[in-house]
Amino acid sequence: MWDVIVVGGGNAALCGALMAREAGASVLLLEASPKEWRGGNSQHTRNLRCMHDAPQDVLVDAYPEEEYWQDLLKVTGGQTNEALARMVIRESSTCRDWMRKHGVRFQPPLSGTLHVARTNAFFMGGGKALVNAYYLSAEKLGIDILYDSPVDDLEIKDGKFVAAMVGDKRYAGRAVILGCGGFESNREWVREAWGQNERGEWPAENFLVRGTRYNMGAVLKVMMREGADTMGDPTQAHCVAIDARAPQYDGGIATRLDCVSLGVVLNCNAERFYDEGEDFWPKRYALWGRLVALQPKQIAYTIIDAKSVGRFMPPVFPGVKADTLPELAQKLGLDETVFMKTINDFNAACRVGTFDHTIQDDCHTEGVTPEKTHWARPIDTGPFYGYALRPGITFTYFGLVTDEKSSVFFKGKASPNMFAAGEISAGNVLGKGYTAGVGMSIGTAFGRIAGTQAAAAAKKMKEGAQHAVA
């Protein structure tokens, strides 16, 4: 019997476990993966979006609460809970000393991250280094950790947690923190969620998972069965357009392709379908996953010419290279005639002013649909490069309803000893869209709160039991 059982082993789960232990609770952490894959999607993260009113060690200038909130409001299109969002934002301004105490180290922004240098605090070595630090701290504090322990069922009685099951093993606890992620690794579930489109395709069959292979959503399914309150659209997710050659799971950040805004993007019919130069790539990458998902065969091709080489972060795989445009069309398996018409139309429509990829410049198109509003330059200088894009899901937003105490709800009533944190309840704040580093802010805020709440709940249960005995 433990005071607190933590289901999951990523950032939110670890924050919960550490806070609960610091509050005096005995803690068991059940991580689904083997040790070498521990940490869920946190192992692929790199920073935390942080509110700050003045420069703070690695953070420059200021990023006040209101600006952070407006950014979040914009990306979610209003699909957020203001009270919870503001709580996350405020927590992000104070949590870093605690993180440091547990061995997390911050570093100045990485090269090529100008757009988030002010708003995001980078973990030295990235998310896996953070996860390593937390596990080390957890071991030192005497938290029991079990790997290869995917929880597949929960014993719940009248809205109260009793035990977590891993196969036929039963772990009883006085309180539980559910920090076991979304369901993006469960391809069958994602396939069902996206359903069949008007072309008769099952779009999700062509999705890649950028993150862990262990977020199967088993506990989320159990909670649905038990009648817990859920929220969100199961097709909404952190969904990015990534290199189509990325592995099915765990491709992480390296599989990104940052050249979209420098060239054009064609679907498999060799036609353009969206303004590639709408905004800076960091503000648009989370949109393009969905855009590609809506195209036939869920694939797209970003085409650049020699002028763009060296102007974007180097991709992990070399592009398909051709000296002429028809040759590139052939190599990419696109209809050469349509391809040439699309490129020629685009080239003719380019109104080139002063190209500058570091600002929203005045290079745009006229008389072509869709238009390209910035960085539009004719694709005319060989060699030419093409990269195939696929939708890559990082994590799903559908999950458990929660509140400022990280509570889990059953028919509108908060459970006294069940708490949720991280991706399993991130959708409360993040109904759609994404902005860099906010996932870790949400996970850290709710994880820490869940830890404190779970330890208090366990204490109360213990005292209650003693009273009952007395």
Partner 1 sequence: MQSLESLTREAQNLAGSTEHSITWHKKGITANEAEVARALQICNACRYCEGFCAVFPAMARRLEFDNKADLNYLANLCHNCGACLHACQYAPPHEFMVNIPQAMAKVRMETYTDFAWPASLGKLYKNNGVTLSLATAFGLVLFLVLTVLSAGNLLSQPQSAPLAGNFYAIFPHNTLALMFGVVFGFAVLALGIGVTRFWKEITPGQATQEAVSEAAHNALKLKYLDGGHGEGCNDEDDRFTLRRRRFHHLTFYGFMLCFAATSVATLYHYMFGWQAPYGYFSLPVILGTLGGIGLLVGPAGLLWLNLNRSPLHGDAEQKPMDRAFIILLFLTSLTGLGLLVLRETSAMPLLLAVHLGVVMALFLTLPYGKFAHGIYRCAALLKWSIEKRQPNKLSLGSD
Report the interface residues with partner 1, using CB under 8 A. Answer: 36-37, 43-44, 46, 105, 107-108, 110-116, 122-129, 132, 136, 243, 245-247, 250, 252-256, 258, 261-262, 280-282, 285, 310-318, 357-358
Task: State the minimum distance, in angstroms, from the CB of residue 10 to partner 1.
Answer: 13
Task: State the minimum distance, in angstroms, from the CB of residue 247 to partner 1.
Answer: 6
Task: State the minimum distance, in angstroms, from the CB of residue 415 to partner 1.
Answer: 34
Q: Which residue has the tokens 């690794």?
A: 185
Nearer to partner 1, 1 or 110 (CB): 110
Task: State the minimum distance, in angstroms, from the CB of residue 236 to partner 1.
Answer: 23
Task: State the minimum distance, in angstroms, from the CB of residue 316 to partner 1.
Answer: 4
Helix, strand, coil share (%) of the chain residues, nearest 5: 35, 20, 40
Nearer to partner 1, 4 or 328 (CB): 328
Tokens of 372: 């390209």
Quote the strand ranges of 284-402, DSSP E.
300-304, 320-322, 350-351, 364-365, 384-396, 399-400
Nearer to partner 1, 99 or 163 (CB): 99
Nearer to partner 1, 103 or 326 (CB): 103
Nearer to partner 1, 8 or 126 (CB): 126
Q: Which long-range contacts (CB under 8 A, 24 or more apart) does 219-225 make?
A: 219/7, 219/151, 219/154, 219/178, 219/180, 219/424, 220/180, 220/182, 220/183, 220/398, 220/399, 220/400, 220/424, 221/183, 222/152, 222/153, 222/154, 223/154, 223/178, 223/400, 223/408
Task: State the minimum distance, in angstroms, from the CB of residue 460 to partner 1.
Answer: 36
Task: State the minimum distance, in angstroms, from the CB of residue 185 to partner 1.
Answer: 15
Nearer to partner 1, 112 or 464 (CB): 112
Whether the link from the prior residue into 55 is cis, omega within 30° of 0, is: no
HSE-up of 116 (CA within 13 Å, CB side)? 21
Cα–Cα distance, 470 to 193 (Å, whole number):
51
Nearer to partner 1, 182 or 252 (CB): 252
CA distances from 185 to 114, 200, 211, 290, 294 (A): 31, 23, 8, 17, 20
**Residue 425 burial (C-beta neighbours within 10 Å; 0-12, 13-18, 19+):** buried
Residues across the chain: 470
231: number of Cβ within 10 Å: 17
Nearer to partner 1, 308 or 452 (CB): 308
Find the angle CA(287)-CA(437)-CA(293) to the nearest 5 degrees: 20
Contact by Cβ (8 Å): 38, 11: no
Residue 234: alpha-carbon gap to chain centroid: 14
Nearer to partner 1, 362 or 404 (CB): 362
